[in-house]
Structure 1
Amino acid sequence: MNKSYNFKATALSVFAGLIIGSTSAFAHTRLDVPTMVEGTRIINNLVAHACGENNLIGTSIVFPDGADSTILVDGQPHTGALTDFLTNYGNNAQLIFNRGAFDLMGEKTDSTSNVVGFWAGGGPGVDHTLNVATPFRLTAPMFEPSSCATSAVVYISIANVCQITGTSQFGEGIVDLWTHNNLGTPYDRVGTTDDGPAPWTITRDLTVNPLPASCGTNGVKVELKPSASQINRDMPIFYKGSQVWPQ
């Protein structure tokens, strides 16, 4: 068997070992440490359960790139740039190489080489009775000193793959989607509430970076969601130039 074919088989089973999975609202895929103070850096994990009675064979993770993302301020659309609130957003997550659960993994990057997500998998997969954690380094961006933002919530979209199919076959036991329910993509989570993505909350250090007097005492809450075009571009998994999921 040649190496190219051997990988293709591994890549399809690559997903047979990714990292985040959950088929139930009671087993959300979430960050181990969901809240960070601006400017701090930690080793974090995405923690989840496998897919019902099926082993977890793959995962795909996407962070909003901040370029064409939806920005909300106290729940209302913001038409300006993300730099109105965060000074160094982008390239905040770096995948840590770890074969504790999966054999293969890789980062996803945008046109400027910023990491906008990652995937992991390979090997026999994660047994449906077990939890699994994917480690990565996460750096919290800084708040623009002149802004009134006291917190920013970044919504991380996740697909936990249990079977390799096309998007038209997505369903329970095949792929668990911890994504937004209203973007209009094949990867949208089916649900009446938009509670799928894993929230990452960055809080302002009000001692080091106090609010301007004009902001009052409460400030504003910023939220960052990916665009449909980014999800369609960055959710699929590629290995050595070939798309291995979805088929």
Structure 2
Amino acid sequence: MEREYSVNFGQYNTWSDWHLTPAERPIVVPPTEKTHNIDLPGGSGVIDAAQALTGYPVFNMREGSWDFYVENDIEPFMTIYSKVMAALQGKRLRVSLEEDAAYFYEGRCWVDNPKQSNGHTMLTINYSFNPYKHKFADIGKVVKTAVNGSATIFSGSVSNYTGEPICPKLGIELSSGNTMSIEFTTSSRRYTTSLAKGTWVDPIIMLIPGETTSIVAKGYGTVSLQAIGGWL
């Protein structure tokens, strides 16, 4: 049970490395939606300015805490306390739950003052994570497309992701010419830009879940596309 409901902080596991037993089943709290309601004197209801700016919902950080009992008969408490502090304080980490180990959250963690509960010493680990979790398997996943005049490097929808808009990373390699033309098209807009050799992230080229999109490259060379989406 201890390993099944443990938490991985980077390379460390709460049970295998520190012998911490969760007081309750560890769950990462859901993010709350960011809203900024504007009451219009001359109209009915309110306008949510947050979605009006983006066209899709945006979220606050996931913030919460976990309580762990310290197994004092394995290592001295101060030894465990120092190990946990050294691993967490002041670091930005990828954190995963053992029972959901294919996904990770990213953010900061820190330790509260130890406390006593039912005759046991307890450590509280606080966290502040980005709203979306990501798949370990998606890290480093890149699709390369050869462009000999014109080629479609993305076409379709990212509806299989459950919410996170994706701003893809484009890598440009040129075999001829100084730039590669990138045409980004959705049902409501069309945008064209020229990119030189290198790695680029253009905030206008945004893949919105459920929205049909195409990205066409024109020129000569290779375009690599990395688009990592997230889940709530």
Q: TM-score band (shorter)? A: under 0.3
Q: TM-score, normalised by structure 2?
A: 0.27
- In proportion to residue count, which structure has more strand? 2
Q: Which has the higher contact order (CA 8 A, sep 6+)?
A: 1
